[in-house]
Amino acid sequence: MRLATIHDEEWIEGEPVSDPEIFIRRMKEMPPADIFSFARPLPACEPCYPYHFDWDNAAAVRTADFADWWDSLPQESRKNVRRSQRRGVAVSSVVFCEEFVRGISKIYNETPIRQGRRFWHYGKSFDQVKAANGTYLDRSEFIGAFVDGKLIGFMKFVVVTNVARIMQILSLETHADKRPTNALLAKAVEICCQRGISHLVYGKHVYGKKENSPVTEFKRRNGFERLDFPRYYVPLTRRGSFAIRYRLYRGITELVPETILTLFLTTRAAIYRRGLNCRRMFNNRTNLQRSSDQV
């Protein structure tokens, strides 16, 4: 079963599919897939098309008033932002330049494992990092977290139809005690409120069935709420109609129970950590051997 979607759908200004009826009719003439899936841009949340849909979700903060968001946070979350300030973290908007790209590269190359899986930005060249972060520059905002003038964390968000979408937020693990990620989020909400942006979106609120994942809990503690919206699925072939009828288009993460999925992710993370530790031990032994040979 082949599923077609709009490339970079969530980053497109305006309606990705302005006239679904005409668009779908043309796709059926020479179908590139069995099912076509699309969604309207946020904050549109009400079903409005006569097609089959499932409820998708996003993690969003309404950015009408900074004080309202701040007061809604748990006490521990507010403490984390203040803690970052006390520990010397300065947060500000940043111009996208080569010095900033070099700082991002250092963050990327800190560790090959993040959140229990291989980090796909690890080992990228300067040009690759620059190209990856240089998209949608006319609608992008970059925020940096600095300690003694050195970049320890950054965020990029893109404004899409008056909604700010976080494309990337990342900090050095060695400075996690300074809570730079909390400080970056607070600054992003502040900027959105100042610019009259309606929402700040941080990916999905729930991925698959992982209702209680650490990522979801982190978003909850920082004021992000679940925003449900319809994602439409339109059959383009007979096989697509069959798949929609029996919901065969849904991914494996939607079908596997959360307990089994959590066990798999925990096991995978342990394997990656073990592999990383083995490589570090091997590299340390190799360096010691080289040092002894030179002596």
Print the domain residue range for 169: 64-197
The answer to whether residues 151 and 93 belong to one domain is yes
pLDDT averaged per 10 residues, the chain (length 295): 93 94 95 96 94 96 97 97 97 98 97 84 96 97 98 98 97 97 98 98 88 90 97 96 90 63 62 61 51 51
Tokens of 228: 């449900």
The answer to whether residues 34 and 88 belong to one domain is no
Contacts of 8 (CB under 8 A, 6+ apart): none
Q: Which among 175, 197, 219 is the end of a domain?
A: 197
The answer to whether residues 168 and 136 belong to one domain is yes
Tokens of 8: 């970079």
Give dist(CA 182, CA 221) in Å, integer. Answer: 10
pLDDT of residue 278: 59
Residue 48 lies in a domain: yes
pLDDT of residue 16: 92
Tokens of 193: 């409120």
pLDDT of residue 287: 52
The answer to whether residues 31 and 131 belong to one domain is no
Residue 205 lies in a domain: no
The answer to whether residues 179 and 282 belong to one domain is no
pLDDT of residue 208: 78
pLDDT of residue 30: 92
pLDDT of residue 5: 95
Which secondary-structure segment (H or E) carries 168? Answer: strand 163-171
